Amino acid sequence: MNARDRLIVGLDVPTIAEATAMVDRLGDTVSFYKIGYQLAFAGGLEFARELAEDGKQVFLDMKLLDIDNTVAKGVENIAKMGMSMLTLHAYPKAMRAAVKAAEGSPLCLLGVTVLTSMDDDDLADAGYATSAVDLVEKRAAQAIEAGMGGIVCSAAEAKRVRAIAGPEKAIVTPGIRPSGSDANDQKRVMTPTDAIVAGASHLVVGRPILQSLDPKVQAEAILKEISAATRA
Active site residues: 61, 63, 66
Instruction: Flag whether 207 is marked binding.
Output: yes
d(CA 123, CA 102): 31
206 is in an annotated binding site: yes
| 122 labeled binding residue | no
Is residue 68 a known part of a binding site? Answer: yes
Determine whether the annotation assigns residue 39 to a binding site: no
Q: Is 67 annotated as a binding residue?
A: yes
69 is in an annotated binding site: yes
- Consult the annotation and say whether 34 binds a ligand: yes
70 is in an annotated binding site: yes
Q: Which residues are annotated as a binding site?
A: 12, 34, 61-70, 116, 177, 186, 206-207
Q: Which residues are annotated as a binding site for substrate?
A: 12, 34, 61-70, 116, 177, 186, 206-207
